Amino acid sequence: MCRQALEGVKIADFTWAAAGPLTMSYLAHGGATVVKIESGTRSGASRSFPPRGGEGGMISSMMFSNDNSDKLSISINMKNPRGVEVAKKLVLWADVVAENFRPGTMEKWGLGYAELKKINPSIIMFRSSARGQTGPDSKVAENGITLQSLTGFTSLTGYPDKNDPTPPWGAYTDLTAPALGAVMLIGALDYRAKTGKGQCLDLSQLEAGLQFLAPAILDYHVNHLCARRMGNASSYGVPHGVYRCSGNDRWCAIAIFDDREWKAFCRIMDKPEWLDDPRFATAIARKKNESELDHLINEWTVKHPVEEIMNLLQDNNISAGIVENSADILNDPQIKERQFFEKLEHPHLGSFFHHGVGFRLSKTPCNPRTPGPILGQHTEHVCRELLGLGKDEYENLVDAGAFT
Amino acid sequence: MASEKTRDNQTVLGGYRALDLTDEKGAMCGWALAALGAEVIKVEPPGGDPSRSIPPFYGGVPHPEKSLFFFAYNTNKKSITLNLETVDGRVIFEKLVRSADFVIESFKPGYMEAQGLGYSALDHINPRIVMTAITPFGQTGPYRGFKTSDLMCSAMSGFMYLTGDPDREPIRISVPQAYALGGAEGAIATMTAHYFRERTGEGQYVDVSIRESMLKTAPYSLPWMEKYGKLTKRSGPYWTLMGQNTRVHWPCKDGSVTFVLPAIKINPDLCRRFIEWMAEKGIIHESFNRIDWNHPDMASITPQIQNELESSILNLCKTLTRSELMEGLIARGITAAPVNTMEDISRNEQLRARDFWEQVEHGEMGASIPYPGAFIRATETPCVKKHRAPMIGEHNREIYVDFLGIPKKELVILKVAGII
């Protein structure tokens, strides 16, 4: 059995949807014991997204399994005082209590930071919410789709010749918030291990997302220039775009930044005359005539398969890559070689790919090991093995309706 | 708690040192460690890190000390210049590694080994070292040597294929995202290795792939392919998930707003609120009148009616300004957000109320610039107060003379020989 970096770390995980669970995934993959506290009556929306398997309250989806691999699930009825009692036992057991409800929800259950600290003085409370725990709009509801617009990502995505931006697909802040939240959470765990001190961490998904737009924010604050969507153009590279290749909806990204690359590119396209063409001879001219140039490049790319263009350009040390769709990703030789996806056997859904993390640690692997749990799959295990309850005690709780 | 800016000496990484050799590819990793209190020393080639020439620029004019991109991701770092491709440079670097806790680099795979500074060499000097390499595809695999660009990393992550109009080219977010995400995941990986090191005394090697850090956008479309062999495609203003298209983007008089069109069959109550709103405005499709919105007969709800609901709401939005539309949506309990520009963000009340913006002094330009503040609030170990990015080699004297004890005379030799 390999050693894992975060072995021994204990997390009572109340998070749901995507932004919270994806944060906890980094810790779960790193070896922390993450117990998802769920409810049969209020199961996270992503449990039921198709394709799915299982029935009724036991429903499982491929997406949920992907976002929650390596975690355990206990299903608690938080409306039952005996259920709340179990939740509080988990707080006492845990190093971290994590949640991403609308601010105020944990307080309603008597599980605000002040109460958690009474139960477990060295607890770390990790709170992730749309706009943070404080401020006039802290309780306004959001989801990942609206949040990426609130943060500014949508206004910066789209075609400049259209009246309106085009939203980035999905819920982009569900990537940015976990990526920064996990950094501080692991740091807080190390600090706690050394000093015995817990704390409350308040992540605003809006504020975390804005870090990824910082250059554009500074441009506005300093130069009063409000950045706009520019398709795939770069303010300095040219040509810099996505070009149509042969076949159905096949595209190649090409980015050229200097003269060497431009010369090689013209040679590959068999357009040596462009090197002397006043429209394209200099980088300044190419930028001025960018749309014309893009059009002409398209005339070349559309005759060739995207794989051929990528390889040809890369062989000449020019940055180029396939705009990969989901089939490309599943067949990508680089992804296969690095085993980014782990095929895990799910009891309801069969065997399918689960995503890992974007890094490999030489001594302490972080690959996914078990699929996302079925609702309440580990209720008894968590109560008996982790919380140390006796058989009678556990059965008592079952009879009292503590679990759903 | 969180809103108070208590900035004392308690930090997660106070007393730890990182040598940051990255360019734009990994800048955010060292940036995050510096925010946590680490002493992050940027080791730049003489003349400066190439990412100093990335726009936008202060005052709009290109200058290596005025890149706003560089400013953004190099706060709280120090800078020394060092040519790793010289023998003297390597010897000095090895000395620095002895007292360092982290080395972060973003060179092409193989470069550090070629300088004699690969992980096995650094591990030999300092077995506690955590060495993090941030590259487009990681250290292994057939694409590891590919010529990189942020655009290529985004393209190969599956994110772009899904963003844009179905009949046009896939697009990215115009402020490049792949390198930033790779840097942030690099920081998670580095902290994970740090946690292990603090318990066991053992350092390790961390291999980060920028493309993989962005691949998490794609898995939502993968089950559809794995299970049914179906490709999820771009859908412009619609959100496509698991074969369903739902409009999320709504233009209005002076901008646009984002909310998810409710499905009549799933959420009739939310639809009723729109119907009543449209009735007030006199924009109502006659087929809606035949529906009892309090108890709709679901069998009678055809896709046609659902489409009419969408086009009616589109018309409603067009009669309203963005603030009128947002007010109406919030009053009716519909989750929505304005499509904010950077100007809107700069004026956002919530961010001001949370005291988000942090003034950073740029003394040599006589400027004080509001930066995005802490990426998370922490009661015990808050992110450190922001200090501007370093000038090229600003800390050469501090590190070389005061810390390593290199005599000033030798510093002159190193300078003339192009080593620092």
Q: Kindly list the residues from chain A whose CB atom is less than 8 angstroms away from the CB atom of residue B102.
A: none
Label residue B1 by pLDDT band (50, 70, 90): very low
Angle between helices B268-281 and B303-318 (to 10 degrees): 50
How far is it, in rounded angstroms, from Cα A314 to Cα A297?
Answer: 17
Query: Closest Cα of chain A to B405: distance in Å?
Result: 32
Strand partners, B26: none
Both B179 and B261 in one domain: the answer is: no
Q: Please report, as a single letter, which amino acid is at residue B183.
A: G
The answer to whether residues B134 and B105 touch, using CB atoms and an 8 Å cutoff, is yes
Confidence label for B4 from pLDDT (cuts 50, 70 and 90): very low
Is residue B10, in this structure, part of any structural domain at all? no
The pTM of this model reads 0.97
Q: What is the pLDDT of residue B3?
A: 36
Q: Are residues B64 and B190 located together in one domain of the fold? A: yes
CATH code for position B258 = 3.30.1540
Is B307 in the same domain as B163?
A: no
Of the residues B65, B221, B226, B231, the best mutation for testing chain A's interface (the one with the most A CB atoms within 10 Å of its CB) is B226
List the CATH number of the domain containing B161.
Answer: 3.40.50.10540
Are B268 and B411 in a shared domain? no
Same domain, B360 and B332: no
* Partners of residue A216 in chain B, C-beta under 8 Å: 56, 175, 342
Residue range A295-312: mean pLDDT, rounded: 98
Tell me if A359 and B223 make a contact (CB, 8 A cut-off).
Answer: no
- Residue range A17-55, pLDDT digits in tens: 899 999 999 999 999 999 999 987 655 667 877 788 887
Contact criterion met (CB below 8 Å) for B9 and B29: no
Last residue of some domain: B311, B344, B377? Answer: B344
In chain A, whose CA is at the least distance from the CA of B223?
A62
**Set of chain A residues whose Cβ sits within 8 Å of the Cβ of B257:** 149
Are B335 and B373 within one domain? no
Report yes or no: A87 and A113 within 8 Å, Cβ to Cβ: no
Tell me if residue B65 falls in helix, strand or coil.
coil
Q: Which residues on B lie below 8 Å from A326 (Cβ)?
A: 158, 161, 218, 221-222, 224-225, 231-232
Give the residue from B344, B371, B392 where a domain finishes: B344
Assembly ipTM: 0.97
- Mean model confidence pLDDT for chain B: 94
Distance in Å, alpha carbon of A386 to nearest chain B alpha carbon: 22
In this prediction, residues B262-278 reach a mean pLDDT of 92
Domains and CATH numbers, chain A: 10-212+339-399 (3.40.50.10540), 240-324 (3.30.1540.10)
Mutate to test the interface with B, among A326, A336, A339, A348 (most CBs of B within 10 A): A326
CB contact under 8 A, A242 and B221: no
Query: Does residue B230 lie in a domain region?
Result: no
Chain centre to alpha carbon of residue A181: 11
pLDDT at A42: 59
Q: Does the pLDDT value for residue B152 go beyond 60? A: yes
Q: Among the three residues B344, B368, B402, which one is the final residue of a domain in this structure?
A: B344
pLDDT one-digit tens code per residue, A204-241: 999 999 999 999 999 999 999 999 999 999 988 999 99
Is A89 touching B (CB cutoff 8 A)? no
User: B12 lies in a domain?
Assistant: no
In this structure, are B51 and B198 located in the same domain? yes
Residue B212 sits in the same domain as residue B96: yes
Q: B114 and B185 share a domain?
A: yes
Tell me, what amino acid is at A154?
Answer: T
How high is the pLDDT of residue A404? 86
Residue B238 lies in a domain: no
pLDDT of residue A303: 98
Residue B6 has pLDDT above 50, yes or no: no
Residue B179 located in a structural domain? yes
One domain, residues B318 and B387:
no
**Can you give the three-state secondary structure of chain A, one letter per residue?**
CCCCCCCCCEEEECCCCCHHHHHHHHHHHCCCEEEEEECCCCCCHHHHCCCEECCHHHCEEHHHHHHCCCCEEEEECCCCHHHHHHHHHHHHHCCEEEECCCCCHHHHCCCCHHHHHHHCCCCEEEEEECCCCCCCCCCCCCCHHHHHHHHCCCCCECCCCCCCCCCCCCCCHHHHHHHHHHHHHHHHHHHHHHHCCCEEEEEEHHHHHHHHHHHHHHHHHHHCCCCCCCCCCCCCCCCEEEEECCCCCCEEEEECCCHHHHHHHHHHCCCHHHHCCCCCCCHHHHHHCHHHHHHHHHHHHCCCCHHHHHHHHHHCCCEEEECCCHHHHHHCHHHHHHCCEEEEEECCCEEEEEECCCEEECCCCCCCCCCCCCCCCCHHHHHHHHCCCCHHHHHHHHHCCCEC
Chain B residues closer than 8 Å to A129 by CB: none
- Of chain A, the percentage scoring pLDDT greater than 70 comes to 98
Nearest to B158 among A149, A206, A326 (CB): A326
**Residue in chain A nearest B195 by alpha carbon:** A190
To the nearest whole Å, the CA of B372 is away from the closest chain A CA by: 6
Q: Do B258 and B382 lie in a common domain?
A: no
**Does any domain span residue B174?**
yes
Interface of A with B in 150-179 (CB under 8 A): 150-159, 163-170, 172, 175-176, 179
Chain B neighbours among A 198-257 (CB < 8 Å)?
Answer: 198-204, 206-208, 210-223, 225-237, 240-244, 249, 251-253, 255, 257
- Could you read off the pLDDT of B315-329 as tens digits, one per residue? 999 999 999 999 999
Please state the domain count of chain B: 2
**Residue range(s) defining the domain that contains residue B61:** 17-217+355-416
Structure tokens at B181: 């995400």
Answer yes or no: is B25 within a domain. Answer: yes
Task: Quote the pLDDT of residue B5.
Answer: 37
pLDDT value, residue A152: 98
B382 shares a domain with B274: no
How deeply is B418 buried, as exposed, middle or buried, from its count of CB atoms within 10 A (0-12, 13-18, 19+)?
A: middle
Q: Do B171 and A360 touch (CB under 8 A)?
A: no
Whether residue B157 contacts residue B149, with contact meaning beta carbons closer than 8 Å, is answered with: no
Whether residues B138 and A232 touch (CB distance < 8 A) is answered with no
Residue B239 belongs to some domain of the structure: no
